[in-house]
Amino acid sequence: MSDQKPARANEAVVDLRPATDAQLRFIGVIRTPWVTRDLCPRQGAEDGPECRLVLDPVWQPALAGLEDYERIEVLYWLDRSRRDLVTQSPKGDGKTLGTFALRSPVRPNPIGTSVVRLVGIEGAEVIVRGLDCLDGTPLLDIKPERGSFTPKAPPKPGVA
């Protein structure tokens, strides 16, 4: 559900073809203190407030081992974004940049990602600091932060 604002001067809008279904599955919802975009940080900070990733209980076993990581990567669906801008004017001053040169929530597939600090796990809820999304944002995925992750699968032959 997007609450679309009109495009700004010089921003380019495209007619989108019907979406092909990627069959994304929301695994839960994110609880944050922010109920309006004006109050929501543009990028999260590790000294920001605690937020909760509230998983559908069916996914609780999928958290096993996550407690070993100080930092995790969270992917979420910025569900209140428009999706049809190819250029954007972040400052509203008429100067534009391409959507793929920005981390704006307005993009064809409004996926947000943040590396956050893991504060704790309580059942099917993961407590983190460092998010920047509105309360109620759908949760897509959780992964260990890339830099602190060692692949668990056997090495592949011929790959350095």
Stretch of 10-18, 97-105, 141-149, 152-160 contacting ligand SAM, by CB under 6 A? 97-105
First to last CA, the chain: 45
Cβ closer to ligand SAM: 10 or 113?
Answer: 113
Q: Give the side-chain half-sphere CA count within 13 A for 136.
A: 7
What is the C-alpha separation between 38 and 45, in angstroms, rounded?
Answer: 16
Q: State which residue, 117 or 160, has the beta carbon closest to ligand SAM.
A: 117
Contact track, ligand SAM, 16-55, x by CB under 6 A = ---------------------x--xxxx------------
CA–chain centroid gap for 38, Å, is: 17
| Contact with ligand SAM (CB under 6 A) among 27, 51, 55, 81 | 81
Output phi, psi for 26, to 5 deg: -70, 135
Q: Give me the least distance between CB of 132 and ligand SAM, in Å please.
A: 4
Contact 101, 86 (CB under 8 A): no
CA distances from 122 to 27, 126, 127, 128 (A): 16, 6, 8, 11
> Between 111 and 127, whose beta carbon lies closer to ligand SAM?
111
> To the nearest whole angstrom, how small is the minimum distance from the Cβ of residue 66 to ligand SAM?
20
**Site of interaction with ligand SAM (CB under 6 A):** 37, 40-43, 78-81, 103-105, 112-114, 132-134, 137
